[in-house]
Amino acid sequence: MQNIRVQVGVKTTAGIKDINEDAAGFLIPQDSYLSKVKGLAFCIADGVSSAEAGKEASETAVTRFLSEYFKTPDTWSVSRCGEQVLSAINLRLYRKSHQFKQDNKGYLTTLSCLLLKGVHGHLFHVGDSRVFRLRSDSFEQLTADHVTHLGQGKSFLSRALGMDNNIHIDYSNFELKEGDCYLLTTDGVHDFIPTAALIRALSSSVPASDIASSLCAQAQTNGSDDNISCVVLRVKSLPHQDDNEFNADLTRLPFPPPLEAGMKLDGYRVIEEIFASPRSQLYLVEDEKSGQHYAMKTPSMNFEDDVHYIDRFLKEKWIGSRIDSPYVVKIIQHNRPRTALYYLMEHLEGLSLDHWLAKNTPLKPKHAIAIVKDIAKGLQAFHDNDAIHQDLKPGNIMIMKDGSVKLVDFGSVFVAGVAELYRPIEHIGALGTASYSDPNYLVGKNSAIQGDVYSLATICYELFTGHLPYGDKVETCTSMFDYDKLRYQSATKYNPVIPVWFDKALQKGVSFDLTTRYQTIDALLEDLTKPNPLFLKPEPEPKEASSLVFWKLVSGFWFITLILVIYLFSQSKL
């Protein structure tokens, strides 16, 4: 079945400047299935030089879009994929901008992305980079410059990635035609080449790569004083219109039935059921083509008509695909058509931490803290991608045969900038497991990274003591009023060799008060591995002497009052 074919050329140069703050790139998948369900992607970005981190911003925007777009669920529309990915990238840049104290510094960049899928083009745009199209004799600009003019030749960029925590992206789609020629440029090109010259260059029969190089050279000859970049692509051939029906079918994938050993689904043979719950199933499967073993997660038939559940299930796969860490289970990219809704993960040969602990306690302190450090590395991979695990517990931590650690389960993960920008999460009761989840979830507070800090500190406490920091009653709490009745139990009560400073760090990590709890994983680890001088100060002695004096004075006052009363009454009888 034929896929879209294009000819592409990319050129980016610093021009007369010392640093090239432009970025340009494209991705044409070699895998025919991925090319069919995701299409081809072309991007150009112009980092804002006055923002100091323009180079890093433009490179981040282009590389992350080209990477993360192709990891989105294949059942999502192009518009939804692009908007989700760009929202996450924007928030990432916005947060990094807060590293600068001045308001005019930050990670700011323009970005224009052109996606070709089936017989349609899709355009995402923010800033003043431009996308043009030459179709036959018609030449038009497909994007609008997000620039505000102040008069007297002065203007400023009104929209850019990283400028605000919420970003409005221009999106449009249109039908493609064979022979279309598209041009993506930064202002170092289109501000210095007349429209007639652009049309002549795109109309020539030379390869697209030669056109891109000649346009950049011409811009510099014409006095361009900026970085110079462009992407040129020609549409050589398109798939048949009927082929595009395949994409619509993806949005109607049925739930697979309960699977048993020996059954086959899309070329994967079920070996055994690993796990089952009211919400999902996990199977060990073998790829009949490669012989490779994978874990297949399928949705529960209980939610077949629940659109919110289906959306969450699809989002799990994308969230997991964004995180690339040896301490987090890897999502496997589909490379063949599917007839049902599911996704694949690497198969992990090991035990969940709760089962592993049942066979390996008590732990030596050195081993226990090593496990905590590896869990922290996995969590940090989530946080680096603006994601919060939210359901960290021993059952979601795997200990491999070689002793390495991997975090699993993306079912409760929250990604800031994707759907809810740190709004309270809607749920009934604690989002994760009551023993390990932040109680703040109960009142609808998204405690963000601090929620994962609480879970990690709780697990660390359990590794060193075999108990929970607030005892077993924490599992029966249903409101913050219930939690307020609980008191932290010193870890030294169960393990006398634990130093005071270590116990104080654990206590701070599991504090219900977010103003007291650590704000980052690194801060918690720092105090768990190195004595904090503040925790080494002796507790203030109770002022027993002052208390004794106080009660002596009170007693003396009442004694004098009694004598005075007796005297007055005795005088009245005279």
Q: What is the pLDDT of residues 150-177, one digit of tens each?
A: 766 677 889 999 988 888 999 999 999 9
pTM over 0.85? The answer is no
Q: Which of 346, 365, 399 is the last residue of a domain?
A: 346
Are 444 and 413 members of one domain?
Answer: yes
Look at residue 539 and tell me whether its pLDDT is greater than 80. Answer: no
Q: pLDDT at position 562, please?
A: 67
Q: How many other CB atoms are there within 10 angstroms of residue 276's CB atom?
A: 13
**Residues near 510 by beta carbon (within 8 Å), at least 6 away in sequence:** 454, 457, 458, 461, 469, 470, 488, 517
CATH at residue 455: 1.10.510.10
Are 443 and 487 members of one domain?
Answer: yes
Q: Which of 244, 269, 285 is the last residue of a domain?
A: 244
Are 258 and 326 members of one domain?
Answer: yes
Are 515 and 375 members of one domain?
Answer: yes
In a 10 Å sphere around its CB, with 0-12 CB exposed, 13-18 middle and 19+ buried, how is residue 5 labelled? middle
Residue range 113-130: mean pLDDT, rounded: 95
Q: Domain range for residue 150?
A: 5-244
Q: pLDDT at position 428, please?
A: 36
Instruction: Give the number of residues written for the chain.
Output: 574
| Chain-centroid distance, C-alpha 361 | 34
Look at residue 1 and tell me whether its pLDDT is greater than 50. Answer: no
Residue range 437-464: mean pLDDT, rounded: 90
Instruction: Kindly report whether the peptide bond that precedes residue 362 is cis, defined as omega within 30 degrees of 0.
Output: yes
Residue type, 153: G
Are 313 and 423 members of one domain?
Answer: no
Are 560 and 529 members of one domain?
Answer: no
What the block records as the tokens of 69 is: 């777009």
Strands 293-299, 343-346: pairing kind: antiparallel
Closest CA relative to residue 338, chosen from 246, 257, 273: 246
Residue range 225-244: mean pLDDT, rounded: 84
Are 285 and 392 members of one domain?
Answer: no
Residue 4 phi, psi (nearest 5): -65, 140
Q: pLDDT at position 558, please?
A: 67
Give me the percent of the chain exceeding a pLDDT of 90: 61
DSSP string, 121-138: EEEEEESS-EEEEEETTE
In a 10 Å sphere around its CB, with 0-12 CB exposed, 13-18 middle and 19+ buried, how is residue 510 labelled? buried
Please give the residue that has the higher pLDDT: either 471 or 537: 471
What the block records as the tokens of 141 is: 């600009």
Residue range 67-78: mean pLDDT, rounded: 88
Number of structural domains (the chain) is 4
DSSP state of 90: H
Look at residue 429 and tell me whether its pLDDT is greater than 60. Answer: no
Q: pLDDT at position 419, please?
A: 41
Are 211 and 291 members of one domain?
Answer: no
Contact in structure between 297 and 342 (CB atoms under 8 Å)? yes
CA–CA distance, 187 with 76 (Å, rounded to integer): 33
Are 213 and 359 members of one domain?
Answer: no
**Residues near 311 by beta carbon (within 8 Å), at least 6 away in sequence:** none
In angstroms, what CA-CA distances link 58 with 45, 93, 126, 187?
Answer: 5, 10, 12, 14
In angstroms, what CA-CA distances link 116 with 6, 173, 181, 237, 539?
Answer: 10, 10, 12, 12, 67
Strand runs (DSSP E) across 449-571, as ranges? none
Q: Which of 215, 244, 273 is the last residue of a domain?
A: 244
Look at residue 545 and tell me whether its pLDDT is greater than 60. Answer: no
Are 415 and 529 members of one domain?
Answer: yes
Q: Mean pLDDT score of the chain, rounded to an integer?
A: 87
Look at residue 245 and tell me whether its pLDDT is greater than 60. Answer: no
Are 223 and 88 members of one domain?
Answer: yes
Please give the residue that has the higher pLDDT: either 426 or 360: 360
Residue range 333-348: mean pLDDT, rounded: 89
Q: What is the pLDDT of residues 367-426, one digit of tens each?
A: 999 999 999 999 999 998 888 898 899 999 999 999 999 999 888 887 754 543 333 333
CATH at residue 272: 3.30.200.20
CATH at residue 134: 3.60.40.10
Helices 449-465 and 365-384 sit at what angle, rounded to 10 degrees?
170
**Residues near 57 by beta carbon (within 8 Å), at least 6 away in sequence:** 45, 47, 48, 51, 93, 106, 107, 108, 109, 161, 162
Are 417 and 544 members of one domain?
Answer: no
Q: What is the pLDDT of residues 551-564, one digit of tens each?
A: 667 677 666 766 76
